[in-house]
Amino acid sequence: MHELSPRQLLAQQIGAVLMLLGAACFMWQPLWATVAFTVGALVFAPLQMLQRYEGRSFTLRRLRRQQLLGALALLVTACLMIMQVCQIGFARRNEWVVALAIACVLELYTVFRISAELEKEKD
């Protein structure tokens, strides 16, 4: 697995924290929470897409694709949040919560499974 540089890893962690704060504070400050989540998603997702797996394991390739779908779902969540806050398009209610739930399930599942599969591959 291609690892990120220390700066990229720090930026990815900051993006993850911004997404967490944005999702948690949406009820009280929708505009600022949307901005925080969107900035976090725009930092986190591309950096996650930079990580690559160059091995031959079919399982790890599948998990990596699922992880990329989770990153894409985070970007879709940011778009849906913007649509709700600005009252544009079809997303006028809390549709972003569904996209966020899908992204969280994919991201959490893949992060644990990829690390387990990488350990198997080392042995």
pLDDT tens digits, one per residue of 2-52: 788 899 999 999 999 999 999 999 999 999 999 999 999 999 999 999 988
pLDDT tens, position by position, 88-122:
988 888 899 999 999 999 999 999 999 999 898 88
d(CA 49, CA 30): 28
Residue ranges covered by each domain of the chain: 6-122
SS3 90: coil
pLDDT tens, position by position, 69-84:
999 999 999 999 999 9
Please tell me the predicted confidence (pLDDT) of residue 100. 97
Q: Which long-range contacts (CB under 8 A, 24 or more apart) does 60-67 make?
A: 60/1, 60/114, 60/117, 60/118, 60/121, 63/110, 63/113, 63/114, 63/117, 64/110, 64/114, 66/106, 66/109, 66/110, 67/106, 67/107, 67/110, 67/111, 67/114
Buried-exposed string 57-70: b where 16+ CB fall within 10 A, e elsewhere: eeebeebbebbbeb
Look up the pTM and report it. 0.91
Please tell me the predicted confidence (pLDDT) of residue 47. 94
